[in-house]
Chains A and B, each alone.
Chain A
Amino acid sequence: MSIYYIYQDQKRCIGCYACEIHCKTWNSVPLGPRFCRIIPVGPKMIGSVPRQQFIFIPCFHCEKPWCVSACPTNAMQKRTKDGIVFVEQSHCVGCKSCITACPWGVPQWNPETGKVIKCDYCKSRIDQGLKPACVTKCTGKSLRWVSAAEASLLKREKFAREIAKFGVMY
Chain B
Amino acid sequence: MEDTKSVYSICSMCTVRCAIKVEVEDGVAKWIEGNPHVPGLEGSLCAKGSAGLAFQYDTERPQYPMIRDGERGSGKWRMATWDEALDYIADKLKEITDKHGSKSIALVDRGGPFTDLTKSFMKALNSPNYLDHDDTCGKNTNMACQTLFGYGRTDMIYDWPNTKHIVLYGRNVFESLMVKEVNSILDAMEKGAKLTYIDCRATVTASKADRFLMIKPGTDYALNLALINVILNERLYNVDFVNKWVTGLTELQSFVIPYTPEWAEKETGIPAQEIINLARDLSDAKPKVILHGGWMLARYFDSFYSSRSIYILNTLLGSIETKGGLIIAKGAKDASKKPLNSLGTNIPDVKDKIFDADMPGKSLGTGHVVNIYKVIKTEEPYPVRALFVYRYDLIASLPDPEAQKKALDNLDLLVSIDVNYSKTGWYSDVLLPESTYLERSNIIGTQTGPKPAFIMRRQAILPRYDSKPAWEIFTLLAQKMGAGQYFPYKSIEDIWNYQLDGTGIKIEDFNAKGFVSLAKEAILMGRNDLKFKTPSGKVEFVSQTLEKNKFLSFKPYESPKKTEKGIFRLTFGRCGYHTHATTQNNLYLNELMPENVLWINEDEAKDLGIKNGDIVEVSSNGYSGKIKAYVTPFIHPDAVFMVHGFGNEIPMKTRSYKKGLNDNAFQIGQLELVDPVGGGTAFLECFITVKKA
**Chain A contacts to B: CB under 8 angstroms:** 11-12, 14-18, 20-22, 24-26, 31, 42-43, 48-52, 136-141
- Contact A11-B212, Cβ < 8 Å, known A43-B202, A137-B50: no
B175 CB contacts on chain A under 8 angstroms: 14, 16
| Bound Cα distance from A41 to B588, whole angstroms | 22
Interface size counted on chain B using CB atoms at 8 A: 41
10 smallest A-B Cβ distances: which pairs?
A16-B576, A52-B207, A18-B47, A14-B174, A50-B202, A21-B47, A21-B50, A137-B45, A18-B46, A25-B53
How many Å from the CB of A163 to the closest CB on chain B? 17
Q: Is the CB of B177 within 8 A of A137?
A: no
| Bound Cα distance from A126 to B211, whole angstroms | 41
How many Å from the CB of A166 to the closest CB on chain B? 11
| Bound Cα distance from A50 to B43, whole angstroms | 30
Q: Is the CB of B206 within 8 A of A25?
A: no
B174 CB contacts on chain A under 8 angstroms: 14-16, 140
B186 CB contacts on chain A under 8 angstroms: 11-12, 140-141
Q: Is the CB of A25 within 8 A of B51?
A: yes
Other A-B pairs beyond A14-B208, A17-B577, 19, CB < 8 Å? A12-B186, A14-B174, A14-B175, A15-B204, A16-B174, A17-B576, A21-B47, A22-B50, A25-B53, A25-B54, A26-B31, A31-B587, A43-B634, A49-B210, A52-B207, A137-B43, A137-B45, A137-B49, A140-B186
A12 CB contacts on chain B under 8 angstroms: 186, 190
Q: Is B591 an interface residue, CB under 8 A from the partner?
A: yes
Query: Which residues from 164 to 205 on chain B have a C-beta closer than 8 Å to any C-beta of chain A?
Result: 174-175, 177, 179, 182-183, 186, 189-190, 202, 204
| Bound Cα distance from A140 to B181, whole angstroms | 10
When C-beta atoms are compared, the residue in chain B nearest to A18 turns out to be B47
How many Å from the CB of A45 to the closest CB on chain B? 8
How many Å from the CB of A75 to the closest CB on chain B? 26
Q: Is B162 an interface residue, CB under 8 A from the partner?
A: no
A17 CB contacts on chain B under 8 angstroms: 47, 576-577, 592
Q: Is the CB of A140 within 8 A of B182?
A: yes
- Contact A50-B212, Cβ < 8 Å, known A138-B44, A139-B177: yes
B159 CB contacts on chain A under 8 angstroms: none
Q: Is B209 an interface residue, CB under 8 A from the partner?
A: yes
| Bound Cα distance from A25 to B30, whole angstroms | 8
Q: Is the CB of B204 within 8 A of A52?
A: yes
| Bound Cα distance from A138 to B43, whole angstroms | 8
| Bound Cα distance from A43 to B212, whole angstroms | 13
How many Å from the CB of A80 to the closest CB on chain B? 28
| Bound Cα distance from A12 to B174, whole angstroms | 10
Q: Is the interface of A mostly helix, strand, loop or mixed?
A: mixed
Q: Is B680 an interface residue, CB under 8 A from the partner?
A: no
Q: Is B675 an interface residue, CB under 8 A from the partner?
A: no
When C-beta atoms are compared, the residue in chain B nearest to A40 turns out to be B204
- Contact A139-B207, Cβ < 8 Å, known A17-B577, A20-B47, A25-B54: no
Q: List 29 A-B contacts (CB under 8 A).
A: A14-B177, A14-B182, A14-B576, A16-B46, A16-B47, A16-B174, A16-B175, A18-B47, A18-B50, A20-B47, A20-B592, A21-B50, A21-B589, A22-B50, A24-B50, A25-B50, A25-B53, A25-B588, A48-B212, A49-B206, A137-B34, A137-B50, A139-B45, A139-B46, A139-B47, A139-B576, A140-B174, A140-B183, A141-B44
How many Å from the CB of A115 to the closest CB on chain B? 20
A31 CB contacts on chain B under 8 angstroms: 587, 591
Interface centre among A14, A20, A31, A138 (most CB of B within 10 A): A14
How many Å from the CB of B196 to the closest CB on chain A? 11
Q: Interface 1/0s, chain B 47-61, versus A by CB < 8 A?
A: 101110110000000
| Bound Cα distance from A49 to B591, whole angstroms | 31
Q: Is B33 an interface residue, CB under 8 A from the partner?
A: yes
| Bound Cα distance from A165 to B313, whole angstroms | 30
When C-beta atoms are compared, the residue in chain A nearest to B32 turns out to be A25
B202 CB contacts on chain A under 8 angstroms: 43, 50
Q: Is the CB of B207 within 8 A of A18?
A: no
B207 CB contacts on chain A under 8 angstroms: 42-43, 49-52
B588 CB contacts on chain A under 8 angstroms: 21, 24-25
| Bound Cα distance from A140 to B179, whole angstroms | 7
When C-beta atoms are compared, the residue in chain A nearest to B29 turns out to be A25
B42 CB contacts on chain A under 8 angstroms: 141
Interface residue from B31, B204, B592 paired with A25 (Cβ < 8 Å): B31
| Bound Cα distance from A12 to B576, whole angstroms | 14
A25 CB contacts on chain B under 8 angstroms: 31-32, 50-51, 53-54, 588
Query: Which residues from 612 to 645 on chain B have a C-beta closer than 8 Å to any C-beta of chain A?
Result: 634
| Bound Cα distance from A18 to B664, whole angstroms | 27
- Contact A15-B45, Cβ < 8 Å, known A21-B51, A31-B587, A43-B202: no
How many Å from the CB of B190 to the closest CB on chain A? 7
When C-beta atoms are compared, the residue in chain B nearest to A136 turns out to be B43
| Bound Cα distance from A21 to B190, whole angstroms | 26
Query: Which residues from 579 to 599 on chain B have a C-beta closer than 8 Å to any C-beta of chain A?
Result: 587-589, 591-592
When C-beta atoms are compared, the residue in chain A nearest to B591 turns out to be A31
Interface residue from A15, A49, A139 paired with B179 (Cβ < 8 Å): A139
| Bound Cα distance from A31 to B44, whole angstroms | 23
- Contact A22-B54, Cβ < 8 Å, known A11-B190, A52-B207: no
A22 CB contacts on chain B under 8 angstroms: 45, 50
When C-beta atoms are compared, the residue in chain B nearest to A52 turns out to be B207
Query: Which residues from 298 to 350 on chain B have a C-beta closer than 8 Å to any C-beta of chain A?
Result: none
- Contact A141-B634, Cβ < 8 Å, known A14-B204, A43-B202, A50-B207: no
Query: Which residues from 481 to 524 on chain B have a C-beta closer than 8 Å to any C-beta of chain A?
Result: none
B209 CB contacts on chain A under 8 angstroms: 49
| Bound Cα distance from A93 to B63, whole angstroms | 40
When C-beta atoms are compared, the residue in chain B nearest to A16 turns out to be B576
| Bound Cα distance from A22 to B190, whole angstroms | 25
| Bound Cα distance from A97 to B634, whole angstroms | 42
- Contact A140-B44, Cβ < 8 Å, known A25-B51, A25-B53, A49-B211: yes
- Contact A137-B576, Cβ < 8 Å, known A17-B592, A24-B588, A49-B210: no
| Bound Cα distance from A18 to B202, whole angstroms | 21
How many Å from the CB of B222 to the closest CB on chain A? 21
| Bound Cα distance from A143 to B42, whole angstroms | 13
Interface residue from A24, A49, A139 paired with B212 (Cβ < 8 Å): A49
